[in-house]
Amino acid sequence: MKYLLIYLKGMAMGAADVVPGVSGGTIAFITGILDTLLESIRRINPTIIKVVKEKGIKGAFMHINGPFLVCVFGGILTSIFTLSKVISYLLVTHPVPVWSFFFGLILISVVHMLKQVKSFSMVRVVLFGLGVLFAWGITMLNPISLEMTYLNVFIGGSIAICAMLLPGISGSFILLLLGLYPSVLAAAKNLDITVLAIFASGCVAGLLTFSHLLSALLRKYHDATLIFLTGLMLGTLGKIWPWKEVLTWRSNSKGEQVPLLEQNLSPMQFEQLTGQPAHIAWAVGALLCGILLVWGLEQFAARSGVGSED
């Protein structure tokens, strides 16, 4: 049951990572597995060779918390391969409630994270503001268009996985900024083993380097790091605002025109400019579902003690 729960949390991370603007790291944090995930990955380093010699492969596997990692990444991959089509479809057919759900999820997650900070100071308030500005700045960047080469896919994977570990920064959005998101998503849908293997190699390289840094920061400067990460989450809310006007378009992997640059609108402006209903009732309902989901996870973790999977 324990590992099934971890697997489901991994699936939730994968589902979030498919959506540009939503971070799997956010899901890892609110489900209580981010610290364990970072610590487990951090143990994958050259010293593992010594552990293999002393305890064998099974001992080394347990040393890096192998069952936990298999469940988390198994869940992530399951979502990417099974939910990518569903989420892509829902974003096209029902964008307002989908974005509203994630908006509510991140909004309550900010509250959840701030509750973990033991004390506030001027320095930490500044760090929070810097996090907001940094994330907001990234969401306002104009996407570039990297050529679809194996080297660029590797580099994109190493950068995106770092973002996926950070609550607030979306790995898929980083891929979108680099111009690689359509190609990687198409590779996942079409099971292009070569592209996926190169992308995965980049992810592994980024994972094994960045996780050490983030894990060290959380150990030595826990509250300061936490409040900066919370600022990152708050700064991405503009990106997932449900009502938008499309300014420019791009062609996806199927040659279809999909939004590239957008600007936020009020529900009333949205109806006036697009001629489409704002679906305010659906938006509010979906937002409340996102809030209740995080609240429920928080209560469940507090009562059952599943927040730590060491």
Q: pLDDT tens-digit profile of 35-88?
A: 888 888 888 888 888 888 888 989 999 998 999 999 999 998 898 788 777 877
Query: E-strand spans in the chain?
Result: 244-251, 257-264
Distance of CA 118 to the CA centre of its chain: 25
Share of the chain above pLDDT 70, in %: 88
Task: Check residue 144 and give its pLDDT.
Answer: 66
Query: Do the beta carbons of residue 207 and residue 160 sit within 8 Å?
Result: no
Give the pLDDT band (50/70/90) at residue 240.
confident
Q: Is 4 exposed, middle or buried (0-12, 13-18, 19+ CB in 10 A)?
A: exposed
Task: Check residue 7 and give its pLDDT.
Answer: 92
| Cα gap 44→25, rounded to integer Å | 19
**Higher local confidence (pLDDT), 296 or 1:** 296
| Cα gap 167→177, rounded to integer Å | 18
Distance of CA 159 to the CA centre of its chain: 13
Task: Check residue 130 and give its pLDDT.
Answer: 94
The dihedral through the CA atoms of 41, 43, 48, 53 has a sign that is negative
Q: Which DSSP letter does residue 252 get?
A: -
Q: How many residues does the chain have?
A: 310
pTM of the full structure: 0.72
Helix 181-190 / helix 150-165 crossing angle, nearest 10 deg: 90
| Cα gap 193→185, rounded to integer Å | 12
Task: Check residue 149 and give its pLDDT.
Answer: 84
Contacts of 266 by beta carbon, 8 Å cutoff, 6+ apart: 243
pLDDT tens column, 168-214: 666 777 787 787 877 787 787 777 889 889 998 998 888 888 888 88
Residue 98 has pLDDT above 70, yes or no: yes
Residue 136 has pLDDT above 70, yes or no: yes
Contacts of 276 by beta carbon, 8 Å cutoff, 6+ apart: 270
Query: Do the beta carbons of residue 34 and residue 28 sit within 8 Å?
Result: yes
Task: Check residue 259 and give its pLDDT.
Answer: 64
Give the pLDDT band (50/70/90) at residue 309.
very low
Average pLDDT over residues 252-276: 77
| Cα gap 112→43, rounded to integer Å | 28
Closest CA to 166 of 78, 230, 75, 83: 230
Residue 304 has pLDDT above 70, yes or no: no
The angle subtended at Cα 36 by Cα 33 and Cα 37, nearest 5°, is 80
Q: What is the CA radius of gyration of the chain?
A: 19
Residue 146 has pLDDT above 90, yes or no: no
Contacts of 209 by beta carbon, 8 Å cutoff, 6+ apart: none
